[in-house]
Amino acid sequence: MTPAELAASSDLILPMAIRVAATLRLADLLAPGPLTTTELASEAKADPEALARLMRYLTARGLFETSTADTFALGEGGKWLLDDAPGSARKWLDLEGFGGHMDRAFFELLGTVRAGGPVAAGNKTSLSVGATASYDELMAERARTEGPALAEVLDWRRFEQVVDVGGGTGAQLVALLTAFPHLHGTLVELPASIATAQQKFSEAGVSCGVLAGNLFELELPQADAFVLRYLLHSFEDDQAIEALAKCRKALSEGGSIFVMEASDATPAVFATMDLLMLVLGHGRERTLTQYDDVAAAAGLSRKAIYHPTAGPRVLEYVV
């Protein structure tokens, strides 16, 4: 890395300016057409002078355009900040949502590295009501994209009862139950997410049971398929083992437990996610060997690995 590349990589001005634009929804406000600074500030509930300085900065970087010193329009780069743009970038960058919660956690990275963990954990059990709703929305958006790929990657016809542990607002179960109507599904989630999940099930026209509460305080229903998607990386090893052991206890004979987590095949992405789990607290990314070790400690062995066309790899564990 050259000094210039180091400077560009460590610059916080552009990332924060983009996040403020995302939070104020400036792209959506300009989507219908150009606005003056005063008009845009009124819509965004921002100070006109400060907003003009932000807009000039972002215009110089291609996100917005200007025809006069006081009128701004949506630029090509700014279209990725539209609320309905593919990838949900705006929602992830919104400083008032879960993405902002993650970003702020990194400002405590020095203390986290010195202490071996964050002062306050940032996983779902410790989030505010607003951050929890934002987290659920972001995870649901991802699951809606990846859910059909999970339904296609393995033969779900061999199962009857599927339990999605920590399945958010049920987007993944909706995909499975829609593709395989014979399946009976149960969502296990924290109480804050249940009402939205039930609404989503009703809208999708699928029948699905719900079990509200903390996983470690619940007795799981018996099933021949358990799905844990982006869940175990939120736990340290002892809790990950306990979670798998609870699923194993409720697993019907011949059933399977599916662990869906990021692959360690791309070191840079894997290391980034691992650092994120450090600053959020109580979790870690794991290599394939490490997941096998955690599963073995819970009395399970790996049967297969599946690679959906979208989403994380799927590890199938059996008794």
Q: How far is CA 199 from CA 80, 137, 138, in A?
A: 29, 13, 17
Alpha helices in the chain (DSSP H): 3-10, 13-24, 26-30, 37-44, 48-60, 89-93, 98-105, 109-115, 129-153, 171-179, 191-204, 237-250, 267-280, 288-297
Residue 24 to residue 14: CA distance in whole angstroms: 15
Contact 220, 249 (CB under 8 A): yes
Residue 296 to residue 282: CA distance in whole angstroms: 21
Contact 27, 21 (CB under 8 A): yes
The single residue of 182, 233, 282, 307 carrying the catalytic annotation is 233
Element (H, E) at 122: none
Amino acid identity, position 196: T
> Residue 242: phi, psi to the nearest 5?
-60, -40
For 242, other C-beta atoms within 10 Å of its C-beta total 15
Q: How far is CA 2 from CA 6, 8, 78, 272, in A?
A: 6, 10, 29, 21
For 43, other C-beta atoms within 10 Å of its C-beta total 15
Element (H, E) at 166: none
Catalytic site residue 233?
Answer: yes
- Hey, which residues are catalytic here? 233
